[in-house]
Structure 1
Amino acid sequence: WKHVDTKLRDLFVENGPIRYNDINFSKDENSRHFSTTYYIRNLSNGEKHDRKWLVYSKDLNIVFCFCFKLFNSKLSISQLANEGTDEWKNLSDKLKIHETTNEHITNMTTWLDLEMRLLRNKTIDKKSKNKLTKKKRSLKKNIIENYYSGKNP
């Protein structure tokens, strides 16, 4: 991705990353390919966590880190953070290493914070809009009542 401005970033955050679950992933020369199982991180205690940040590009046949594309201003050594990767061998290990870096954790936190702020603003905007609509109705009602009662100016 080239430069992502604030409006575009907000749009991406509001809509979230796109997931492809029902496609045949392209195979490399060794018949390796991406799998939807990579979207889930299995912890040693048996818990499963969604790798919401992991994005597969079907056009490029690569995976990359969504939050790095949106928030990281520095170059990272991780391929997932920069150009993405199509190296499917040992991808699980690469994902584990990537998602435990300080840079990734910082970018994930920034992403989730922005997502919450945008959701809050939508709620505030909705409340403000409802309030304005009620005021308009009340004003219309008063104007109509005054008109029909002969109190029009």
Structure 2
Amino acid sequence: MQKREAAAFLANVSHETGGLVHIVEQNTANYPHYCDTTQPFGCPAGTDQYYGRGPVQLSWNYNYKAAGDALGIDLLNNPSLVQTNSAIAWKTGLWYWNTQNGPGTMTAHAAMVNGAGFGETIRSINGRIECDGGNPAQVQSRVETYLRFTSALGVDPGGNLYC
């Protein structure tokens, strides 16, 4: 189970970062879209500062706030720390993986250890943007990457690969 979860985490990280190439979201046109102004804490760093960063591409002001609160770091006012500090970047990725449902119904960690399968990790990270026909090519890319990692680790990938 540990190897299977490691493969799932690494596959999603690889996908999110373009094979560990990019620490920030590449589509800059999306940057202004990640400020939820209905949140009481707003977007003090600027409405275009909460774009995807880190190995799991943390995005949205509310995720930066929650991650920062959990890690004891003011990421709401300093979101660029996820981009400039590798330890913080990896901490936010592991925080999200282990504690956040995202648009799914369970954390990615729970999906793997409770047998829901790799497809549910995709749902927890990107939900309808990719799942349920949202972007089947992206889902396929994640699944193929996951299968490469499970093969490299010598572990069966399990069922429920797609979301």
TM-score norm. by structure 2 comes to 0.28
Give the TM-score, by structure 1 length: 0.29
Bigger radius of gyration among the two: 1
Say which structure, 1 or 2, has more relative contact order (CA 8 Å, 6+ apart). Answer: 2
